[in-house]
Structures are given as C-alpha cells and as structure tokens.
Structure 1
C-alpha cells in the first residue's frame, strides 16, 4: 500500500477496533448478568461464572464483528469526508479504488477473523461451555447443599446445612439416610466436600455423631472427630451432555454420524448451520460496502450525512435479518442454502456500485423521440 493508503487504513482501523471492543464489552456484561444464577442458585464460585461468560463470547463475535465494522467505518469515513481528506486525496490524483482499497482490506481481515471464529473458536468454546454447564447441573455438592433448608437427594439421602461459608466450609450439618435397608443419621459441627484417594466424591464430617438402628431395634451411636462419608453411590447418572448444532465441528455438520442425527438434529438443520458458518463472515464485506456507500456514494454535503447513514443502517439491518430468516428456512429446503451466500454478495455488489456511480456526472434522462420532436419544432 502507498503512504496515503496506510494512513487511511489506520484512520479506519482504530474506530473499528474501538467499536468492536465496546460491543464485546456489552456482550460480556450481558452474559455475566445471565450467569449470576450460577452463583446465587447453584453455589458456584466467581471463577466458574467468569469462565462460562468468556466461553460465550466466540458465539457473539460472528454477530459483533460485522456490526462493529459498520459502526467504526461510518465514524471514520464521516470524519475523513467532513475534514475533506478524501476530497484532497481525489484532487491529488488518487483513484476512488485506491482510496477504498484500505477499507476493503480491513473488511477482508474481519472476514478471516469471523471465519476462524465460526469454524474453530465457536464450536470449541460451545462444547466446553456445554460440558461445564452439565457438570454444574449434575454437581452433587450444589444439588445437596442449600443453606437453611432440608434438601432431598438421590437414594433416600436428605441433607441440612445451617450455614455455608465463602470458602466452602459448612457449619452444623445433618445427614439422614433411609435406603430401605437401614436408617442412619449423622450430625457434625463442620463438613466439607472433597475427593478420596481414588477420586470418589466424599463428604468429610468433623466433630459429630452417627446413629443407627440395628436389625434387633437397638440404637447404636458413634462419636467421631473426622469421618469421610462416601457419596459415590449417589452420583451415578445415565444423563449425558446434549449438544446443539452450534456445538458441532464443521465436518460433523456436513457429514453427521447416525448418533449425531439421532441426538442433535436433522440433516437439513445441520446443513443450514454449516452454510451459515461459512456465509456469515461475508456480512463483514456487506457492512463495509454499505458504510462506503453511505459516505462516498453521493455528493459532498456540508450539513452532514445523517440521512444517508440512517438509510444505510436500515438496509444493513434488513439484510442481516433476512440472512437469519434464510438460515431458518434452509433447514426445511436445502436449495435455500445458496441464498445464504447470494444475499450478502448481492448486497455488497449493489453498495459498491453506488460508490462508483458517484463518479459519473448526473445526467437528466430524455427519450430520443422527444429530442427529435423538440428539434423539429425549435
């Protein structure tokens, strides 16, 4: 690139990066508010909430990057046009294509970033997030412990905890077990969840007693300073992690196994998701082309470009919403997958045509027959 092109690239790239960063921050904030339930109701740590929040970001990037590109490009191009830097470049002999080439290059970079996100980062993060959510949902510690309430667990187990401290220490714990064969109760001043040497989940009870009725109806009582309570008989579950089409790799979407088709979705839904991942990066080119058309697709205006920017934003919103509609419809009609590519490509071509049509002088259209008639009677 020439010196002026590098200058334009920097002037456009910085607002685009700032807009994308702001939108990512808003997305992280909204996701963190949704994940507060994990701390409040599931008793998980702040780190678990942060990890789930960050794992949700790649799925948002496919939507955030084109919008951030559109907003940042409008901000930078408006400033360049208002300060007549674009006019000075044209007056010095720089062609229109040379001026918009840095913007197109930036859009191509965003396309590659979005493609890497949809093909690699999104499925990897979604699968990890799904596994983390499954572990939280099946976490016996979170299911059994609720401060100040009797919680019934599997296998006839009932647990009561008076107080749970921030470090996971439980105070004044009561455990009742009635599995149909024996009735036992444990009470302890302190308790903490842990793992045994072989990795089995245990509940370590401290400073308490255990009561049990024998088969002859005799009450046996045992005092202890430390007693591990094995939780492995109550942790068995047949439930498995259930994935969605957005969690699968691109190869699994195009060539799904019978198990995937049985558990995740139909062949049409998986194909629609696969083509959506490949076509969604093209909307970055559409965003940049419409931003260029809004600022450079007409004559210079000293009063601003609010009307043009509003029209461009409305058209971009309509095109993007239509893209989502086409994705949903493609699950039922495979031929519509072609429209997932044609829609952003056609919108980009129309916008670029408006940019280059601004070079041609506006001429009033007249009919040849009307011109001959006027010449005859003149």
Structure 2
C-alpha cells in the first residue's frame, strides 16, 4: 500500500477496532450477568464465570462484527470528510476506488476473520462452554449443597449445610439417608466434597453416625473422619447434547440421518450451516453502506446526519431480514439461497450507488490561484 492508502486504512481501522471492542465489552457484560447464577446458585468460583463468558465471546463477536464495522467506519469516514481530507484526496487526482480501497480491504479482512471464527473458533468455544455448563449442572457439590437450605438430592438423601466457605469447605453438615434396613443420620463439624476413583464422595470430619434399624435398635458411632459415597445419589443418565451453534460445519451440512433427532431437525441444521458461511458477507455489506452514507453524496459542512440515519436504518433492516430468512429456512431448505442473496444484494446496491455519484474536484482559476471552482468529472 502507498502512504495515502496506509493513512486512510489507519484512520478507518482504529475507529472500527474501537467500536467492535466497545460493543463486545457490553455484550460480554450482559453475558456475564446472565451467567451470574453460576456463582450465586451453584456455588462456583469467579474464574468459572469468567471462563464461561470468554468461551461465549466468539459467538458474540460474530454477531457484533458487522455492526462494529458500520459504526466505526462511519466515525472514521465522517471525520475524514468533514475535515475535507477526502476532498484533498480527490483534488490530488485519486479516483473514488483509490479512496475507498483501504476501507474495502479492511472489510474483506474482517470478513475472513469472521469466517474463521464462524467455522472453527465458535464451535470449539461453544462445545467447551456446553461441557463446562453440563459439568456444573451435574457437579456433586452444586447439586447437593445450598447454604442454609435442606436439599432433597434424591428420594433417599437429604443434605443440609449451614455455611460454605470460599475454599469449598462445608460447615455443620447434616445428612439424612433412607436405606432398606432403616434410616441413617450423619452430622459433622465440617466436610468437603471431592472425588476418589472417579466417584464423588463426601469427606466428613469430627462427626457422628446414628443408624436406626427397622427392628428399633439405635446404633451410634462417633468418628474423626468418615467417607460417604455420593455416586449412587448424583448419577444421571442425561446425555450431553450439543446445540446447532456448537456443531462443526460438516455436522451441520451432512448430519447423521440414521439418528431420528438429526433426521427430524435436518432443515434447521442445514440453515445454521449456510448462515455460518453467509454471515461474513455482512461485514463487506455494512462497510459499503457506511461508505455510501458518507461518500455517496455531495460535500456538506453541516454534516451528513440525515444520510447516515437512512443508511443506519437500512443496515438494521438488512440484518433483521437476514435473521428472518434464517428462521424461515428451518421449514424450507430452498430459502437458504436468500441467506446469500440478502448480503450480496446489499453489496451490489451499495456499490452501484457509491460509484454512480460523481466526484467533485476543484481546480484553480488561472486569474486567481486562491479561488477554487468546482468541476464535475
């Protein structure tokens, strides 16, 4: 790239990066608030919440990237145009394509990045997040323990814990266990849920065991340490199911039709697969809309608020239409062609509108070098 190309690329690229970063931060904050129950109700650490939020980021970026490109490009281009730097480029003999070339390159790079995220990073991160949430939901500690509450873990097991320390130590543990031969009650000053041989166990310290048999005999046992196997009470047969957003592209386009669930949701997974491929095109479409909003008309010292507002509304309509088409494709596979037609049609329209506008150049009069007159080329 030439010096002027690099300059324009930086002037547009930095606002785009800032807009994408700001919108992503807001989306991550919203995501973390939605997952706050992981800490409050499940007793997980702040690191678990951070990990889940970070794993959800690639999917958020895929949705936010076109919007960030549109907003950032508008900021950069509007400043260049209002400060007449674009006019200077035209007066220096640059064609319209030379002026918008850095912005188009930036959009193409963003589209390639979005494609990589959509095809590789998003499904990997989504799978990791789904596995993390699945393990949290079926974690013995989060399933059995709620501070200050009696928890009916199963038909025969009731657990009460007065307090849970930050390090996971349980204080004042009470357990009621119904067994075929009678009922058993455990109480301990402290305990901790851990694993032994791959099975969850409750390690209790400084407590006692009261066993009441069916014949009316009460057996009492004091212990310094006791290990209670929790495996039979927290086991679940629920399988880990991945959503469409968690799957790789080949799993979406070519599902296993021998599985009834896959066969029943064939059109839904196919629509998601085409959406993964078509979504990066919105980055180019939104960049061209931003270019057309600022450069698609004559120069104005009063700004381009009305033109920008119309194009912003058009961008919103285009993206909402894309989401609507995605929903419609879940019932009709032939509509998947519209997932490509919407962004490509926007690219064609914005390009034609952008290059249809004539460039206004300025040349000095021979009689007065300080006076400028416009000449349409």
The two structures have a TM-score, normalised by structure 1, of 0.92
| Aligned position for 1:49 | 49
Q: Which residue of 1 aligns with 2:171?
A: 171
Cα pair distance change 1:286/1:117, threshold 3 Å? same
In structure 2, the partner of 1:105 is 105
Q: Residues 340-359 of structure 1 correspond to what in structure 2 (within 5 A)?
A: 340-359=339-358
The equivalent residue for 2:65 is 65
Between the aligned partners of 2:55 and 2:279, the Cα distance in structure 1 is 20
- Find out whether 1:3 has 2:7 as its counterpart: no
RMSD between aligned alpha carbons? 1.5
Distance 1:171 1:237, change over 3 A: same
Q: CA deviation at 1:125?
A: 1.3
CA shift, 1:216, in A, is 4.2
Structure 1 residue 258: Cα displacement: 3.1
Aligned pair count reads: 360
On the 8 A contact 1:193/1:202 being kept in 2, the answer is: yes
Helix, strand or coil at the partner of 1:153: strand
Structure (1 or 2) with the greater strand fraction: 2
- Per the TM alignment, residue 170 of structure 1 is displaced from its structure 2 partner at its CA by 1.2
Give the Å deviation of 1:237. Answer: 1.3
Q: Secondary structure at the match of 2:175?
A: strand
Task: Determine helix, strand or coil for the equivalent of 2:291.
Answer: helix
Aligned to 2:234: 235
Alignment of 1:89-128 (within 5 A): 89-128=89-128
CA contact (8 A) 1:242 1:264 kept: no
- Runs (5+) with no aligned partner, structure 2: 361-377
1:206 alignment partner in structure 2: 205
Instruction: Give yes or no for contact 2:257–2:263 (8 Å, CA) kept in 1.
Output: no
* Counterpart in the other structure of 2:132: 132
* Structure 2 SS opposite 1:111: helix
Contact 2:90-2:359 within 8 A present in 1 as well: no
In 2, the alpha carbon distance for the partners of 1:193 and 1:312 equals: 58
Post-superposition shift, 1:265? Answer: 5.5
Deviation at 1:259, TM superposition (A): 5.9
What residue number does 1:25 align with? 25
Q: Please give the alpha-carbon distance, in whole angstroms, between the structure 1 residues aligned to 2:207 and 2:339.
A: 66
Distance 1:291 1:92, change over 3 A: same
- Whole-Å Cα distance in 2 between the matches of residues 121 and 285 of structure 1? 20
Partner-residue secondary structure (3-state), 1:354: helix
Q: Per-residue displacement from partner, 1:183-202 (whole Å, max 9, x unpaired)?
A: 11111011111122x12211
Name the residue aligned to 2:273: 274
State the alpha-carbon separation in 2 of the partners of residues 320 and 165 from structure 1.
47
Q: TM-score, normalised by structure 2?
A: 0.92
